[in-house]
Every structure is written in structure tokens, then in C-alpha cells.
Structure 1
């Protein structure tokens, strides 16, 4: 098999990085020169949404969706929202993105956070370093493992990394690039744990942003007005209730510091690719597993379906990618795998997502009319280019939550501050989106597909 024209791939996925918190995506308060440069050299997608997850640890199912290209209801071994194994364990017959790359002759090398089951990791990668199978840790003492050719990864093999997580993982990535001598193309998967809390970036990044200069977002609120079904999850206790502006500003400043530090580390990886002479033939993908609230809507976590929590950055740079383009088209994180497969000349995978390549070629017939997100058994959202419907449910398992709808006009109200579902003129939008959501749920095997979206009058 000839590898002469196949590009290398560096796939970077961050933890908790919302789309809004990149300078190139419109946030002028944050310093992200490396990501901005990648966006300028490639194409960025400003309306990419996560498919969602069935537990509070959205990281795990979201990564499963990215790596499988498949609905969370079909990619995992089960859909019980109370069963942790169902949140992390990918079905053994699901072919994952790195696995497909490996099967196509790529050297697949992983660094950082996996957070899904170990067998799915073992069948996907030919090598790896500084592997973290947990959800979160102290960034200064991450329990990591070396690559295990047997694929077992017992906890006894763990040791504590000797530097800050983002630097630990970046160093390992740079070492891989510098030492790479094989003719085969490589797929390098770098999964950072930043900017997830505890947000303790090294100096000078820890004090780079003065909380008193941070502007609160327009949708900042001291509290959330009703029971969304997940008001008591760990994330919601990371700040005092009701929320205080000063404390929220501090959280945002720390968050930005983590992101800017990560951006500086990604710059080192980029420099290593350039020094090796392979930068131009390398596709770089930057994305995240989900966003985070940090005071928006009075919430702190990612256990909701507002834009700040479900919209993620997606930047793709490399051969065959238009430069300096930012697309507003609706996309989902399950679309990343088929897109990358097409860019690398792999056979089209059997997935629920659709390749974004036609969007790069400006083929309007391939645009999605709607995109949806699920959260546990309590929240669903569907949106089109302008309107967004959120459906809240009472959980069968916990009894928490509310039966209600919210409707937002994202054109007039991008921060989702005003629910306009009670305005008679908007009934048509509610009905149209409710029907679209019902169809979307059925198509994706949603566990709530038999529950009516529209509430009884």
C-alpha cells in the first residue's frame, strides 16, 4: 500500500473548552494565538454541537461519539442512565476512528485522556504514552500509564506524571514527532485534560487574566429558575449559590488562563511538526468534548443543553482544507470521523454522522436543517439556523426535573436569555421543531423517543 500522499493526522481534543472561548470565534477577551493561526490556515466550524451523553460525566460519552461517529444510544453497551459502565464502555463491534486509521495502515499513537473502556483503547492504538484512563485529576500529579502491548492497563501500572498535565502530554507528543522515522503516515491523538477544573494553570498563565477586568456574559444569572433535573451534580457545587459576580469572574479568569496555557503548549507541538518538515502534509484537528457554563444561566457545569455547554470549537487545517474559512453550518461531533476518513482516503465508515467535506465545497444541498443534543433522561434540544427548542423531562430514575419547553430565537438572542415559547406567534416554530426533534430521536434510537415532545395542554 502506497502511503506517499496520505497525510499525517494530529487530532487534539480538549476537556471543557466551549466554542465561545477562542479569540478566532469572536471572544476578544481571550488570548489564543495558536488556535487563531490554525483557524486562519484552515477551516473552522463555529456551529459544531456535541451529540450529548447520558450521565453527568459528559466527557466519556462525548469522546465515544467523536471516536465512533455514532449516536450515543448505539455506540455504547447500554442506555441505562444509572449504570456507569453504560457511560464509558463502547460496544466491541464498533469500529473507532483510530481503529479505522490503524486498519488503513496508519501508525496510531495516543497521549493523554481516554476515559472510555480499556478494550476500545487497546484495539485502536499501536502505541501511546502518558495515558490517563480517569475523568479528572490534579493537573500537577496525573496518574498515567505507559503503553501496554497486552492492552490490559491494570491500575497497578499507574505512576504520577512529573509536570503539569498539559506540558506532560505536549512533551510526549513532541517526543513522538521528533523520534518518528517510519514511512507510514501517523495518527497522533492528543487528549488534554485542560481546561477542566481544578483550573490551576502554571504562572504566568495563572495570573494572566485579572478577574476585575473580566466582563460577565450577558446571560450571567445568580441562579437557575427551575429544576432542570441536574441541579445537585458535582459541577454545580464549584461555586457558591446564589452565584456571586466576583466569584464567577475569578472562575472565568482561571478558565482563560488554562486555555491560553494549553494554546502555548499546542504551539510547541506545531513547531515540532514544522521542524520535522511534515507540517504541510499534516492534518491538524482541534476540538473539545463539550463546553461549560461558568455562571451562564446561573449554572456552573456542562449538564445542560444551552449553547455554552453543547457548542464546541472545531478547527481543521491541512492539505485539501480551504484556508481562512469559518463556516456557520450546523454540524455535530459525530460528523468528525467520516470527515477525517474522507480527507485521509479511507473507506467511508458506517456511522450516524455525515462528512463535512461537501460543506467545504459549498454544496448547500448537504447542509443539515437541524442538529440535536441529548442529556441523560431529562433534557433534549433541537435547533435550526435560527430557532432552538429545549424539552425538559422528569427523570424516571431520579424523579428530578421538569416537564416544560423553552424556545429561543438565536438570531435575536444568541445568549439564550429570553424564553419566547409562550408567545402565540411562535407556536409554528415550536410545532415544527417538536416534530423535527421527534424524528431525530427516532432516527438516533433515543430512549425517550416514545415520550411526546409537545406537552399536553
Structure 2
């Protein structure tokens, strides 16, 4: 049982009641709905209480999951470098696949920009891992904007967007989650007092639960640290060199990974999510108090997942489900409660939002409109998804089978996700699956060409997959506070 402080409990009860009422009264679509887009940073798809995670308190997201539509197989396409969030967010904003946008938005239209051109008031707060120019082009208003990839949550550098598209001086003035939630709440309150004939988009991009994993102590009360279970696919060491064994994320714990370290980091990770969840409840309550809930579509998702001990890894620079799959919930008018296991990609949201808002889709946008799945008109929009990481990992999967190729070391992994959802048993050397492996390899080659992937699936000089973790070195990055350095780096 979660030991919540009274003020938080009151908020959650209120949020539950108001969301339940709204769900009963908002089953008709709205022609030009408001859009509230809530976006987390590095949140695994399973890090939500409603998805049978009993070790995390997320009542606000849980209620969205109950009244909204859940895409349980939402994925990102991958990344061209270790900062996975930058290309992931570029794909989301542009509606384009990885090699058609890479990680830059300066020369392509964004979905907030299209909504703005369609008469929407567009507001943004939080993380914008892109240029200032692309933000001011996309949003008519912006407060507490963080231009960067990561920061100390207690000293995040933020700026506001001025009417002339310039920015205020950088300030560091509080915990990131509170800064961004407060900015969103202020926007909603001010919008409600203004001429509301123009609908709004509010894009709230949290920097949690990305590390540094430094939650406020009050959000660590659900379980004691030693009660946090390890991931089902926990390993002390990854079984081979995957091409990204010593990147920044991987240095946040020593090798071999100790159960104590992983439990501790999960404990802190869940605390960051619980804090974010409470503030999401505050934002949703503000919508309700201003009479805006029944004409607002709420979207909740994340830019990528995270390993956190799964397969002996910590980061998101891999193609396992824990790092490639993300939560995706859509709730509001015209959206029935339900869920789907259709294979969807985060960049499908451009066409989906455009369809919801009667907004023109510019040339170059890929992806699919998800409304046919939401409305029960179709059970799927694609048969397979193709995912990549740098030039070292490639994967293709359908609704059951998954093949991962490591070209540099000429290594294959093959998983039966129906019977092995945690990807623990590599079946690549089992001859009884040779036809399935050949089929997926052919699909990988096809998707490699369709996606304009510039990197080869075969290399002339194959590297060894063996490694010696004792030769790895670690160094804390500049964003880690001293207590984290003391605890995990022993410095």
C-alpha cells in the first residue's frame, strides 16, 4: 500500500472522480479538440502501475489507461547515436522515419507548427532537444523550456519564449518536474480566461525519469529499496559485446551489475515517475476546473525505454523490447477505452493528431493514422517493424517473432516473443526455426532498403564479440550530483 501524504491523496481522489465523470460524458468526438501531450523521458513501457507493476505509484496515468486507449506495442525506430531521445523526438515531431529526419528539425515541418498554421494556440514547456529556431516556429507560446538532452533535475536551465521569438535569459529555479507542470497549469488557467475560440496544443515534455535519478524523498514511500524486484531478464553482464558497452548510460553502475545497485536505481527511477504522475494529476485537474476536459484529447507517451539491469545493460542503446518499446495512451472525446497490440511507431502520431484536428499533412510525413485501430475498424496498420541502433544493431519483428542482427560481429538473436516476452532464450542456433529466421532476414533486407538505411547488414571485417569487463573504466558525467557520485561511483 502506498504511503501517500494527505495533500497528494486528496489530489488523486479528485483526479479519479473528475476523470471518471469526464470519461462517461466525453464519448463523442469533437471537431477541433484541444490536445494535451504529456511526454516523459526514458520511461519503460512497463513502468506504469496499471500495467501490473505493483512497485510504482502512478494513479493519474493509471486512470488515463483505464478510460483511454492503450497501445501496448508502441515502439521507436531507434537512433543514429547514443542520445536516443534526440532522433526519437525528431521522428515524433516530423512524422518521418529515422533516415528521413535524422535528429534535426530545422528544415522540416513539425506537427505543432501545422496545428499553429491551422489556428491552434500552441504552447510548449520542458525538454526540447532541438534548436531554438524550431521551437519558436512550432510554438506560439513557451515557458520553462529546456534546450538540451539532460540536466541536474534540481538546477535545470530554462528559458521562456518572448512574443518576438527571442528568449529570456537562462534561469535555474527549481525541480524540473515542478517547473514544467507549473508552466502547463499557468498556461491552461490563462487560456481559460481568454478567447477560447481557438483550440490549443499544450506539449509538456518532462525530463524525468531520465537520470540523474534523484527523486524527492516523499516519492520513495511505496516500497523499501530491498523489496524492489529485479527485472525478469536481469543479467550481471551482457553475454557479448553489442557495440555499445561503455557509453555514458552504461557507466552508471559497475560491472558486473549487482542486484543491490539495480534495485536501488529502480527504486529511484520509480520515485521520479511517481512525482511526475502526481503533477500530471494536477494538470488534469486544472483542465477539469476550467471546464476544458470534455473537449481535450490527452496523449501520454515517452521517447524511449531503458534497460536498468535487463540483459546486463543500463541504457537505451539497444534493440531489446525494454528499451525500444514505449507507453502510449490516448484519452478524451471520441476515444473509447480499450487496448491494442498492433505494432505502432511513435511517428504515427503526426498523422493521428492531424486527423483528429482536421489539420493538413505536409509532404514527407510517413506513419499511419491510428484512429482506425482506436475505432475498431482495423486490428493492425503494419505487419512488421524495423529498428536500428547506430551501425551496429538491426532488428525486425512481427507480432510473434523477432530477429536482431549485429553486423559488426556477425551475430544473430532470434526470439519467440509469444512464449518469451523478456527475450531470455536465443533460438538462433535451433535448426527447427531456420525457416522463420530466413523469412525475417528477408524482411530485414527489404525494410533496410525501404527505410533508406545507409549502413550495411554485412561487413567485410568482422570483430570479436568477446569482451573483458575488467578493462572497462567509468567516469561520472557533469550532471550527476555528489551524492550519486558517492553512492554509485565511490568517489
TM over 0.5: yes
- Please state whether the residue corresponding to 2:233 is helix, strand or coil: coil
Q: Does the alignment pair 1:168 with 2:170?
A: no
Structure 1 residue 443: deviation in Å? 1.5
How far has the Cα of 1:45 moved from its partner? Answer: 0.5
- Cα distance in 1 for residues equivalent to 2:251 and 2:458: 32
Tell me the equivalent position of 1:70. Answer: 96
Change (3 A) 1:261 1:422: same
Q: Which residue of 2 aligns with 1:375?
A: 389
The number of residues matched between the two structures is 428
Q: Structure 2 residue aligned with 1:195, among 201, 205, 209?
A: 209
Alignment pair present for 1:451 and 2:449: no
Match of 2:305 in 1: 291
Q: Where does residue 158 of structure 1 map in the other structure? A: 170
The answer to whether residue 287 in structure 2 is matched with residue 278 in structure 1 is no
- Per the alignment, residue 252 of structure 2 pairs with 238
Shift of 1:28: 2.5
Secondary structure of residue in 1 paired with 2:209? coil
2:344 to 331, 339, 349: 331
Q: 2:68 pairs with 29, 42, 57, which one?
A: 42
Alignment partners' CA distance in 2, 1:365 and 1:417: 28
**How much does 1:38 deviate?**
0.7
Which of 402, 407, 413 aligns to 2:420? It is 413
> Given that residues 290 and 310 in structure 1 are in contact (C-alpha distance below 8 angstroms), is that contact kept between their aligned partners in structure 2?
yes
Query: Secondary structure of the residue that 1:157 maps to in structure 2?
Result: coil
For 1:278 and 1:365, the matched residues in 2 are separated by 31
Of stretches 348-357 and 376-385 in structure 1, the one that deviates more from structure 2 is: 348-357
On the 8 A contact 2:343/2:380 being kept in 1, the answer is: no
Q: Which residue of 1 aligns with 2:45?
A: 19
Q: Matched residue of 1:256: which SS? A: helix
Equivalent positions of 1:90-101 (< 5 A) are 90-92=105-107, 94-101=108-115
Is this contact kept in 2: 1:407–1:430, CA < 8 A?
A: yes
Gap runs ≥5 in structure 1: 77-86, 395-401
Instruction: Find 2:331's aligned residue among 296, 317, 321.
Output: 317
8 Å CA contact retained: 1:338, 1:349: no
- Structure 2's unaligned 5+ residue stretches are 1-29, 463-491
Match of 1:10 in 2: 36
More helix by share: 2
Q: Distance in 1 between matches of 2:379 and 2:390?
A: 32
- Tell me, yes or no, if the aligned pair for 2:219 and 2:274 is still in contact at 8 Å: yes
Matches of 1:419 and 1:297, distance apart in 2 = 12
Q: Name 1:357's counterpart in structure 2.
A: 371
| Partner Cα distance (2:417, 2:401) in 1 | 6
TM-score (norm 1): 0.90
1:130-149 → structure 2 map (5 Å cutoff): 130-149=144-163
Q: Matched residues in 2 for 1:152 and 1:177: separation?
A: 22
How far did 1:215 drift? 1.0
Q: Any idea what the Cα deviations from partners look like across 1:111-143, whole Å, max 9, x if unmatched?
A: 000011222212111010000001111111110
Equivalent position to 1:340, from 329, 353, 356 = 353
